[in-house]
């Protein structure tokens, strides 16, 4: 999350190769333009009350079936949860009081989400662990050890049809990819209260290993990450577009674009050797991206029912802002607002309505991902 001070944070056949080659031919370096939009604190927006507003239909098609109809083995190696078993939640909010990059809305986010999931989805306070840095008890501070213990508690004993909920609001960052499963060459991570001393919690070894791998088929985990660079912070291999389609790998990442622009400059100067090297570098980057995607799918698929909502893409930051006169994370606020306006939504509809809550005021793009292909027309439950 970003506030007043930011935290520094195979192609396997000739058809795909030919398609990429055509994309290289069609590529044009982007022209100059205004700098990226800066986040502005605002008090505008929808005030997310907690009363049900039955009868209102979301403005996007795609709703229909419910989780009960889809539950059970579907012949594809995974199982939906009916979400009628035990409910447990872990909520983490870190304002980093007195530290560089202090934030304002993360603890408020946890309080709002706590109230929302209890009233809307039937979670009980006794089954919710809250870690925030406004407490005196060292056991409830969002340190690295406490967050990891909380994750272990959350998934311990999980069974089919259970519903688990994880919410994190705080700083997020990236570091160099260590095992080649990231198309952008960066591992995503969250920043515990004591990250400068104890270290980050990284997608490979913690977020996925601790929260996803222990879950049995049919156990649901809903995760929300309101943090910078959070698009693939759980390493879930299937990311969905607002049209409900699984996104392919981004062959035109930053490094690929730089190689293509370099090739264009060399070509304009008549330096064919330099242009060829640039094109080779771009193609090499695209091959690497595709290999990373294949590796992620092979290693990170799960028979459990895991879905994640992130505040932004891996390349973006998430806003720590003001809404309705209260400090808040933009994603946490938008998620509650969208479901308060339209309580009955499909996954696809919810992705669109959450984005609508941010449209025109924030440049970040919330993402929906899953550990297996899902029917995005199913009604979202948590």
Indicate which residues carry an active-site annotation: 171, 228
**Residue 108 CB-density burial (10 A; 0-12 exposed, 13-18 middle, 19+ buried):** buried
Which residue is it, tokens 């505040």? 311
CA distance 348 to 328: 24
Q: What angle do CA 326, 330, 334 make, to 5 degrees?
A: 95
CA-nearest of 320, 350, 321, 340 to 222 is 350
For 307, phi and psi rounded to 5 degrees? -130, 145
Contact at 8 Å (CB) between 235 and 296? yes
Distance CA 203, CA 237 (A): 12
Give the span between the Cα atoms of 180 and 114, in whole angstroms: 36
Q: 322 with 44: CB under 8 angstroms?
A: no
**Half-sphere exposure (Cβ direction) of 194: Cα atoms closer than 13 Å:** 11
Return the structure tokens found at 141: 């501070």
Q: How many residues does the chain have?
A: 382
Closest to 288 (Cα-Cα) out of 185, 178, 188: 185
Nearest to 110 by CA among 322, 329, 357, 295: 329
The H or E element containing residue 116 is: helix 106-121
Element spanning 326, H or E: strand 326-329
CA distances from 96 to 9, 33, 99, 171, 185 (A): 15, 35, 5, 9, 28
């Amino acid at each position: 999350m970003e506030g007043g001070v930011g935290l520094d944070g195979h192609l396997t056949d000739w058809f795909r190769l030919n398609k990429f080659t055509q994309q290289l031919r069609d590529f044009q370096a982007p022209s100059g333009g205004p700098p990226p939009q800066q986040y502005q604190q605002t008090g505008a927006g929808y005030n997310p009350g907690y009363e049900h507003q039955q009868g209102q239909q979301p403005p996007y098609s795609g709703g229909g079936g419910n989780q009960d109809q889809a539950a059970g083995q579907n012949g594809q190696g995974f199982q939906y949860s009916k979400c009628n078993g035990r409910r447990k939640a872990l909520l983490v909010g870190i304002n980093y009081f007195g530290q560089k990059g202090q934030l304002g809305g993360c603890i408020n986010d946890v309080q709002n989400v706590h109230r929302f999931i209890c009233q809307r989805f039937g979670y009980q306070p006794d089954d919710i662990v809250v870690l925030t840095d406004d407490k005196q008890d060292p056991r409830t501070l969002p340190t690295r050890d406490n967050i990891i213990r909380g994750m272990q508690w959350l998934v311990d004993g999980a069974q089919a049809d259970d519903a688990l909920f994880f919410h994190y609001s705080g700083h997020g960052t990236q570091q160099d990819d260590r095992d080649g499963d990231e198309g952008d060459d960066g591992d995503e991570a969250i920043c515990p209260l004591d990250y400068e001393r104890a270290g980050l919690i990284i997608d490979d070894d913690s977020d996925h290993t601790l929260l996803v791998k222990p879950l049995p088929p049919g156990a649901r985990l809903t995760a929300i990450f309101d943090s910078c660079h959070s698009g693939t912070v759980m390493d879930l291999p299937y990311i969905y577009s607002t049209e409900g389609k699984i996104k392919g790998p981004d062959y035109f990442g930053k490094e690929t674009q730089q190689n293509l622009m370099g090739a264009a400059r060399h070509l304009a100067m008549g330096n064919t050797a330099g242009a060829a090297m640039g094109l080779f570098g771009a193609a090499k980057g695209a091959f690497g991206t595709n290999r990373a995607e294949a590796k992620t799918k092979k290693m990170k698929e799960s028979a459990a029912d895991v879905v994640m909502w992130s505040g932004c893409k891996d390349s973006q930051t998430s806003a720590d802002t003001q809404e309705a006169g209260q400090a808040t994370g933009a994603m946490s606020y938008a998620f509650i607002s969208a479901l308060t306006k339209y309580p009955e939504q499909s996954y696809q509809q919810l992705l669109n309505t959450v984005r609508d809550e941010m449209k025109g005021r924030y440049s970040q793009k919330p993402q929906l991902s899953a550990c297996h292909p899902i029917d995005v027309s199913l009604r979202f439950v948590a």
